[in-house]
Amino acid sequence: MTDITMPKLSDSMESGTILSWLKADGETVAAGEELVEIETDKATMTYEAPAAGALAIVAGPGEALPVGAVIARVGAAAGVLPGGRVMTPEQDGAEDHAADGSAGSSPSLLAVGVGSSANGAGAMAATPVARRLAAAHGVDLAALAGSGPRGRVTRADVAAAAGVPIPDAVPARVAAPPASAPAAPASAADGVELRELSRLQQVVARRMAEAKATVPEFQVQIEVAIDAALALRAGLKAAADEGGVVPSVNDLIVKASALALREHPLANGSYRDGRFELHPRVNVGIAVAAADALVVPTITDADTRSLGSIATEARRLATRVREGTITPPELSGGTFTVSNLGMYGMTAIVPVINVPQAAILGVGATRTVLARDEAGEIVDRSLMTLTLTCDHRILYGADAAQFLAAIRDLLEAPLRLAL
């Protein structure tokens, strides 16, 4: 019998919540077969069976367990008896002995109907958001043909079957509190609504509090004239094939940041255990608003990617965040973060560092102002405010100013971004 324990799916993961089992209790599974969907502190991920055999589920959907806790066991390969009962070879031998009178009563056998499922959805693969949406609209997942990877049902498939618009978010299921802890009241006496934090919100709250308490932050800010960057984007849009991905202003900022990070390695580093860690790769995280928190997927090797590659990858990652299908590897390895609230009309943003990174860049909205050109004529100019929050243990004022100025120079002469 092999124990299947709660896996450590990210560096910061301390516990995980079982969302659903993709195989039924007692069903035979193969090594490497998708087995269970687990919600971590960063994402929801499908975990594969580490061994082959008959599955014995220990922890059910909704249970939150620490890393290393047993969630299931896998025994020897199972056989199926008439009537749909599943038995292991050990049980098979015991029943043979009982039949010829050589042993006492046979061990009890787990009765499981063929094709049944512990979570009511059979072995149908579907994203967690799709499952919640299907439950909300009474859609049978087994009747759908999934359009996702390996036939997985997505929320778009469910929305189409239910005849409803594709939602931006579907409320996540909340695991019941432990029996030893009293459940929080749904509302206070004065009518104040009380809401439990999701797992992701708990992690974000803890990390932000730790960052503010332990990291000596400071900010530097700069105004960037992005008229040339906007003109470059317009040119790229005009030259793009129909349906092609056109780099956004944020993609230009990601590229400019990546090139500046390559020239300023301290900004691409971390302060850890009294030492500077200078990372060999430039991996830029992009803050994406999810259903209940801010999630930061990573564009790896952003300094060596083309603008088109950055744009394509940014859209892919943002879509996976919003669909709830992002995986821990896609959220790991970031060395710098760009957080853009310009689309919400914010003039400037002072972001909190994503520990252990050395800095994070806050991007404000583009605004038009009147200015004088080199000939003294009054002209319209497009300005954007960039704010760099820095860890003073690794970046000093002059370092931060030079790095931020490098980003500005690249955005104001953006043809270098296309080289």
Query: Can you tell me which residue has the tokens 């010829």?
Result: 100
pLDDT at 411 over 50: yes
> In CATH, what class is 206-418?
alpha beta
Please check whether residue 198 is in contact with residue 206, taking contact to mean a CB–CB distance below 8 angstroms.
Answer: no
Using CA atoms, how far apart are residues 371 and 386, in angstroms rounded to an integer?
A: 19
Output the six-digit token pair for 172.
Answer: 């996540």
Using CA atoms, how far apart are residues 13 and 72, in angstroms rounded to an integer?
A: 19
**Three-state SS across 137-162?**
HCCCHHHCCCCCHHHCECHHHHHHHH
The distance between the two most distant Cα atoms of the chain, rounded to a whole number of Å, is 107
Nearest Cα to Cα of residue 384 among 338, 353, 349, 414: 349
Helix (H, G, I), strand (E, B) or coil at 166: coil
pLDDT at 288 over 80: yes
When comparing pLDDT for 383 and 8, which is higher?
383
Cα-based distances in Å from 337 to 203, 277, 296, 353: 18, 17, 8, 8
> What predicted TM-score, i.e. pTM, was given to this entire model?
0.64
| pLDDT for 231 | 95
Q: What is the CATH number of domain 2-123?
A: 2.40.50.100
Find how far residue 377's CA is from the centre of its chain: 49
Asked, as a colleague might, if the bond just before 66 is cis with ω within 30 of 0, I would say no
pLDDT digits (tens, 9 = 90+) for 16-60: 888 889 888 888 888 888 888 888 766 777 888 888 888 989 888
Nearest Cα to Cα of residue 211 among 357, 30, 11, 5: 357
Q: Who's near 231: CB < 8 A, 6+ residues apart?
A: none
| pLDDT for 335 | 96
Confidence band (pLDDT; 50, 70, 90) for 123? very low
Would you list the domain boundaries of the chain? 2-123, 206-418
Please check whether residue 57 is in contact with residue 43, taking contact to mean a CB–CB distance below 8 angstroms.
Answer: no
**Is 264 assigned a catalytic role?**
no
Using CA atoms, how far apart are residues 137 and 131, in angstroms rounded to an integer?
A: 10
Cα-based distances in Å from 254 to 378, 385, 391: 31, 15, 20
Nearest Cα to Cα of residue 202 among 179, 177, 219, 180: 177
- How many other CB atoms are there within 10 angstroms of residue 205's CB atom? 12
Query: Can you tell me which residue has the tokens 């990877």?
Result: 149
pLDDT at 109 over 80: no
Mean pLDDT of 211-217: 85
- 2-123 and 206-418: same fold? no
- How large is the C-alpha radius of gyration of the chain? 27
pLDDT digits (tens, 9 = 90+) for 89-102: 444 444 333 333 33
Q: Who's near 269: CB < 8 A, 6+ residues apart?
A: 276, 277, 278, 279, 335, 358, 394
Please check whether residue 353 is in contact with residue 267, taking contact to mean a CB–CB distance below 8 angstroms.
Answer: no
| pLDDT for 86 | 42
Please check whether residue 79 is in contact with residue 27, taking contact to mean a CB–CB distance below 8 angstroms.
Answer: no
Confidence band (pLDDT; 50, 70, 90) for 87? very low
Backbone phi and psi for residue 164, each to the nearest 5 degrees, phi listed first:
-125, 160
Using CA atoms, how far apart are residues 367 and 384, in angstroms rounded to an integer?
A: 7
pLDDT digits (tens, 9 = 90+) for 392-402: 999 999 999 99
| pLDDT for 188 | 55
Among the residue ranges 122-126, 253-257, 302-306, 339-343, the one predicted with the least confidence is 122-126
